[in-house]
């Protein structure tokens, strides 16, 4: 259990101490999601784990999720597939909206929603969210750990783009389900069709925009992903600078993120910016 500088870290450590099978790792200060992932991964690999399951603090696996992920991973590996990770789908913990598995298409991301007819299906995907994803040991050793310089957003995106570039495959598992909170809250907006959009505090848009630009400057993300992500950012810019709450602050954070991305700046947000 990795704690990234929580104000109630002592209480969390005490709770973890009640279970023999839980090890508490405290950072003392917020060192970023990438560091937290990597610290847990390093500890798991050192202990000889065959696979690593990542979960955020706001993720709650439903019954059978871990078993479904393990079956999918073992099944694909037995077929000789080079698997980077298998991942769960989730239901939003605020309004129960369903998630989807992402497949890259020209100028758009195809969203595959699992339905009842997909029971037992394993869906080829191009990326997953890190929470609820099961990573085999071999993939982590071959592809490396998460990019800690990104600090918060796009950490999973970067890793899966790196994996796809090197020929590893990614799968979503329809039978693996969890409850998960994405953003502070979720709203429905009309962007050609009804969509669920996570709403964050303004500082998160700094990381989203900065880290997107940092990834655009790298060689391994596909052009298909870059073009589609640019369109996504353009839509977000309109929604969160014109129609959402905290519009001025959102606009400031998005513009600062773009500027710092072009400067190649990584790491945590500057101390003079609001969080």
pLDDT of 245: 80
Domains of the chain are: 50-181 (3.90.550.10), 186-263 (no CATH)
CB count in 10 Å sphere of residue 257: 27
The model's pLDDT over 161-179, given as tens digits with 9 standing for 90+, comes to: 999 999 999 999 999 999 9
> Do residues 261 and 213 touch, judged by C-beta distance below 8 A?
yes
The model's pLDDT over 116-145, given as tens digits with 9 standing for 90+, comes to: 899 999 999 999 999 999 999 999 999 999
Ranges of the chain with pLDDT below 70: 93-96, 183-194, 271-275
pTM as predicted: 0.93
Question: Which residues have a Cβ under 8 Å from the Cβ of 161 and sit 6 or more positions away?
Answer: 127, 215, 220, 221, 222, 225
> Do residues 154 and 170 touch, judged by C-beta distance below 8 A?
no
**Rounded Cα gap, residues 145 and 269, in angstroms:** 22
41: left (phi over 0), alpha (psi -120 to 50) or beta: alpha
> Do residues 87 and 139 touch, judged by C-beta distance below 8 A?
no
pLDDT of 274: 62
pLDDT of 98: 87
């Amino acid at each position: 259990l990795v704690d990234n500088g929580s104000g109630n870290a002592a209480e969390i450590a005490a709770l973890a101490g009640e279970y023999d099978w839980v090890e508490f790792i405290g950072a003392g200060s917020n060192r970023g999601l990438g560091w937290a992932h990597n610290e847990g991964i390093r500890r798991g690999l050192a202990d000889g784990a065959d696979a690593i399951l990542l979960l955020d603090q706001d993720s709650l696996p439903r019954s059978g999720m871990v078993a479904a992920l393990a079956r999918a991973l073992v099944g694909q590996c037995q077929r000789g597939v080079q698997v980077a990770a298998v991942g769960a789908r989730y239901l939003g913990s605020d309004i129960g909206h369903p998630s989807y598995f992402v497949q890259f298409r020209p100028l758009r991301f195809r969203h595959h929603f699992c339905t009842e007819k997909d029971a037992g299906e394993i869906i080829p995907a191009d990326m997953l969210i890190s929470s609820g994803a099961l990573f085999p040991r071999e993939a982590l050793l071959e592809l490396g750990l998460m990019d800690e310089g990104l600090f918060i957003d796009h950490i999973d995106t970067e890793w899966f783009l790196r994996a796809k570039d090197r020929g590893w495959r990614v799968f979503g598992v329809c039978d693996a389900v969890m409850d998960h909170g994405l953003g502070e809250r979720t709203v429905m907006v009309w962007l050609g069709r009804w969509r669920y959009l996570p709403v964050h505090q303004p500082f998160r848009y700094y990381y989203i925009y900065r880290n997107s630009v940092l990834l655009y400057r790298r060689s391994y993300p596909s052009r298909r992903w870059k073009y589609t992500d640019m369109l996504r950012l353009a839509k977000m810019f309109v929604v969160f600078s014109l129609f959402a709450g905290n519009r001025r602050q959102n606009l400031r954070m998005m513009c600062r993120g773009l500027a710092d991305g072009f400067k190649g700046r990584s790491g945590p947000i500057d101390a003079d910016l609001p969080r």
